[in-house]
Amino acid sequence: MDGVTLRRDDDNEHIAEIVLDRPEALNALSTAMARRMAAACAEVATDASVRAVVLSAAGERAFCVGADLKERNAMSDAEILAQRPVFRAAFGGVLDLPQPVIAAVHGFALGGGCEFALSCDMIIADGTAVLGLPEVSVGLVPGGGGTQLALRRLGPGRAADLVLTGRRVKADEALELGLIDRVVPEGTAREAALTLAGMITGNSPTAVRAAKRAMRLGAGKDLPSAMDLEENAWRTVAFSADRSEGIAAFNEKRKPNWPS
């Protein structure tokens, strides 16, 4: 539907999969697709039964090649400006999901495609992956979080290397730079992401969300402020029903049945 499909994993009902599903256009982000992405993320964010999210893509050639420049070429300046909040809502929807989000990247992940991946908590890429932020080569600046997310993930020098040159990097170099977290064999990124998501769903949903929030909000803060965020996360969970169940399950040598 409008280039984005939302579905549940067949083997684990606690995993939601958001699929960039416009393979005929290499999953280029159109206005309609951006609206659907924001709506799908809003739906997932409020669903307490979802404990982890995988962001994947249809087709064999690309995860996402960025904004649909064919659509944009026909737009007036006023239309481009009106499109801006729609795009921001799409990228912000992924970035703001309370559940852990894992990107499963194959093929080209350029511009907005790379930014969608950077908006996730973890990035798994297969050997076909090619990532980059080439916006400056077409007279633009990364506008889906690329400058800031690359800076936080890579540090200033490596972020500048990618953003200011607009160059593309293959999976092995992306791993070395820290742009991605794991490289897996060709054609297995989605499977690996679902496996990792399954591991996360076995843990306390309350604890996982609190830990994610502490890490996200703590990035870039001074250490005392960040430690206060961790304290708040600890208090969120320490007196919860999940804590009681987790400790009971450990002592009874069984899997927890999380109440949250």
Catalytically active residues are 115, 135
Residues 65/66/72/73 CA torsion (nearest 10 deg): -40
Specify which residues 163 forms β-bridges with: none
Transcribe 39-84 into DSSP letters. Answer: HHHHHHHT-TT--EEEEEESSSSEEE-SB-HHHHHT--HHHHHHHH
Spatial CA neighbour of 20 closest among 7, 148, 124, 11: 7
Q: Which amino acid is at 224?
A: P
Do 72 and 117 meet the contact criterion of CB atoms below 8 Å apart?
Answer: no
Q: Which amino acid is at 27?
A: N
Phi, psi (deg, nearest 5) at residue 231: -60, -40
CA distances to 34, 102, 201, 242 from 207, in Å? 31, 18, 11, 8
Spatial CA neighbour of 154 closest among 177, 180, 137: 177
Rg (CA), the chain: 19
Do 258 and 242 meet the contact criterion of CB atoms below 8 Å apart?
Answer: yes
Q: CB within 8 A of 191, min separation 6: which ones?
A: none
Residue with tokens 């992405």: 37
